Amino acid sequence: MNEETKRGSYAREKGEVVLREHEFDGIQEYDQKLPNWWLFTFYIAIVWFLVHWCVYYYTASASTDDENIRGAMVEIQQKKDRELAATLASLDDTTLVTKWATDPAITAAGEATFLASCAACHSADLSATMVVNNQPIPLPGRPLNDHHWEYGGKPMDVFKLINEGTPVNAPGYNGAKMQAWGQVLSPKQVAEVTAFLISKNPEDFKN
């Protein structure tokens, strides 16, 4: 230790270097007075925290995180509702069969969505089975290539089923119900998946 170094509890003047009096296991600690700009920044941060804390918790002038999340969810749902309304305004059985299901770009997009979201239950080949050791094992979903459409065989019936899921009062398939994919996919994606299924079952959806 330099003989000129002061011993004390803390530095009192700018530029003063103090070697604090406490010592533990040979470890000593220096102390210097912090610059005013740092101290004022620290004090302002404390005041800002206290003001913000009081305003956030004791007044109605600031929205809580829960309110912000709920508001964002409402906006998302409203946007989905507008998209669905716009899609349904230009969508009907004939349009799905003659335009959407015959457009390679649309059916390719529908197939991509189907493989990502639906194949786990209905399988990539629509048979609702997977083969393990040369043995077919049934998957939870219904087959989509057996020419049987449980909740309506019209294109818009299929669209509605995908969008809204299994009807509330229906027992489902082997006790399992399909979720409302309209909560996950956009109306356009639901229509593309519908078009893909129509393209794979053209005999079922002849006009």
Domains and CATH numbers, the chain: 6-58 (no CATH), 65-205 (1.10.760.10)
Asked if 17 and 6 touch (Cβ cutoff 8 Å), the reply is yes
Q: What is the pTM of this model?
A: 0.63
Query: Which tens digit of pLDDT belongs to each residue from 74-125?
Result: 998 888 888 878 777 888 999 999 999 999 999 999 999 999 999 999 999 9
pLDDT at 68: 86
Q: In Å, how far are 48, 89, 139, 166 from 153, measured between CA atoms?
A: 63, 20, 22, 14
Place of tokens 């998302």: 76
Query: Which tens digit of pLDDT belongs to each residue from 154-180?
Result: 999 999 999 999 998 998 888 889 999
Which has more pLDDT, 21 or 186? 186
**How far is the C-alpha of 49 from the C-alpha of 43, rounded, in Å?**
10
Query: Which tens digit of pLDDT belongs to each residue from 38-52?
Result: 999 999 999 999 998
Q: Of 111-115, 130-134, 140-144, which gets the smallest average pLDDT?
A: 130-134
